Amino acid sequence: MKTLASYSQGHWVPASGKTATLHHAVTGEPIATASSEGLDFKAMLEYGRRVGGPALRKMTFHERARMLKAMAQWLMERKEGFYALSAATGATRSDSWVDIEGGFGTFFVYSSKGRRELPDETFYIDGDMEVLSKGGTFVGRHIAVPLEGVAVHINAFNFPCWGMLEKLAPTFLAGMPAIVKPATATSFLTEAIVRSMIEAKILPEGALQLIVGGVGDLFDHLTCQDVVTFTGSASTGRRLKAHPKIIEESIRFNMEADSLNFCMLGPDAEPGTEEFDLFVKEVSREMTLKAGQRCTAIRRAIVPAGLADAVVKALGKRLAGATLGDPAVEGVRMGPLATKGQVEEVRKSVEALKAGASVVHGDPENFAVTGADRAKGAFFPAMLLHCADPFDAPAVHDVEAFGPVSTVMGYRTVADACELAKRGKGSLCGSLFTGDDAVAREVVLGTAAFHGRLMLINRHSAKESTGHGSPMPHLVHGGPGRAGGGEEMGGMRSVMHYLQRTAIQGHPQTLTAVTNLWMKGANTPEDVAHPFSKHFDEIQVGDTMFTHRRTVTEADVVNFACLSGDHFYAHMDDIAAKESLFGKRVAHGYFVLSAAAGLFVWPKKGPVLANYGLERLRFTKPVYPGDTIQVRFTCKQKTAKDTPPDGVPQGVVEWDVEVTNQAAEICAVYSILTLVARRPG
């Protein structure tokens, strides 16, 4: 039997003192012991703040993003060892895939988004510049910097890999160290993954620590710079959230709790329709995947009252084919619960549900198990209940059986269905199967305030759908009320949980110097050399070129119309143009852009490799034939890029472009992105 260890202050500390015994979910055999006795929790926090934090904060977002990718690749190469361990949690291969490769995939996603959406800086600039004075000499902006504490992640037993990695990805990308505390029952898998991560030597020392066992007095030593995230039962989450230190220090606490998620069948989705079949398949899959031990699993199936019998019959038939047993045996589709303790919890919850619903499929006292001893393993059968009067049965909206259990309930109108969905008092997710887009709109607007995510499925989207219970790194995972009131993932939203948003005020030049981002009103030094003749390394933020001028003629407008095929009346029809908001014929906006490019582009071959894009374009004043335009072309920001396969070192330069007329009125503003070569070496 293995003795698990915690990873504290750069060392592995084996369990000692009073230990908990962990059991194999299939065989019931003891497989490991765990304990956090002897750990100095205060010292762990201080080590993270003193060693891990400074090392991560020295790195830019892009460097941290590349670190995530390297770690994901390292773990993927070793995934089979983790699959073997995951079997002891009762997971089938497909269950483990969601947990293991889903977790690694989260690192890949945040690596990609970090390099695309965040700057190659140690801080993030949030939003546009705010002008705070009439003359523009006093302005404001928001920056976001990493908190200087430690993120404490407390995870549930059902996802020992994904639950940890989906929190670590935004934490590390933001630049904060973390202490991970997995649920003890399945911590043997978490420990193995952390061991591999430490072995990789990809993370800076102090970036990651692990507690296997209880948290002791850890909370007593938290500060306002720390963050706590929790996934698990609502009751435990509320207790932790109410800790005096959390309240006293106003510590950020993100909670994601189990909830009574719904899956709704639209009134149009009758038996025989694709949507009906898809609904039945999804509900049965969510009941049996991970044996229903998912915070996002479907607990309430809300269907048209007249279709309840058909739904019960179809679900019962499908569930009967979900063979329960040892996941190692061929043909087994559902494994056991994680622990025998969970079996008793689910059994009690089913009894509570029976106060307002009747069992229509499954019997916890009489069920078959394939390839294992039912008495030794943590087995529980798939159970389906039917609630005939859901508006008068509070238990089906209050009690969650955290296992392969769901309740079918009927509705008469879509408005009634929405009300039933909201009776869960706040859920992580809901789903709707309908071919009627009007029903989809009514359900979304009628239930969104009570849910963190809504999935709308019809025959057109089903094939590529990721499923009701699968949170995606790009989108928010969390929900209001009972679901905890927090948000995990959601792309860059979750990164902001670990950053402090601070307003800075001052002269545009001062703020430009602080942020390395040119702001209007800051210095615009000109150089004899054309900006496009400079390598990436030679260009400085603020470098500016004021171009020569060009007078727009009627011939320009006519020629551009012929070349582009754009014969819009405001450009070509004198009479119609007089009646338009312009009052007379106006030059094409895209001609103005083209003419501006002709003013600032350097025609010779040089370091500029390509036009990388154009952003934030606004036409602020029309340009008429006879007007004379000029361009201010300023380096706004620089971002170095990884050297591509062709071996040319390069970076992206963002240029702030402003087109003005003869009266110095601004006609167009936008950003041009150019791909610029760096000097060799």
What's the token pair of residue 295?
């915070």
The candidate with the shortest Cα–Cα distance to 446, out of 420, 470, 472, 424, is: 420
Residue 338 · residue 25 · CB < 8 Å: yes
Helices (H) and strands (E) in the chain, counts: 21, 28
Residue 150 · residue 215 · CB < 8 Å: no
Strands 227-232 and 427-433: unpaired
What's the token pair of residue 500?
């402090």
Q: What does the buried/exposed string (b/e) look like for 311-344 if buried means 16 or more CB atoms within 10 Å of the residue's CB? A: bbebbbebbeebbbbbbeeeebbbbbbbbbebbe
Helix (H), strand (E) at residue 666: strand 666-677
Catalytic residue among 161, 263, 295, 635: 295
How far CA 631 is from CA of 3, 549, 640, 655, 657, in Å, comes to 70, 8, 26, 12, 7
295 is catalytic: yes
Quote the CA–CA distance of 507 and 439 in Å, as a whole number: 53
46 is catalytic: no
Helix (H), strand (E) at residue 452: strand 451-457
Q: How many other β-carbons are positioned within 10 Å of the β-carbon of residue 485?
A: 18
Residues contacting 645, CB < 8 A, separation 6+: none
Catalytic residue among 256, 286, 400, 654: 256
Q: Where are the alpha helices (DSSP H) in 363-424?
A: 395-398, 414-422
Quote the CA–CA distance of 315 and 405 in Å, as a whole number: 12
Which residues are designated catalytic?
Answer: 256, 295
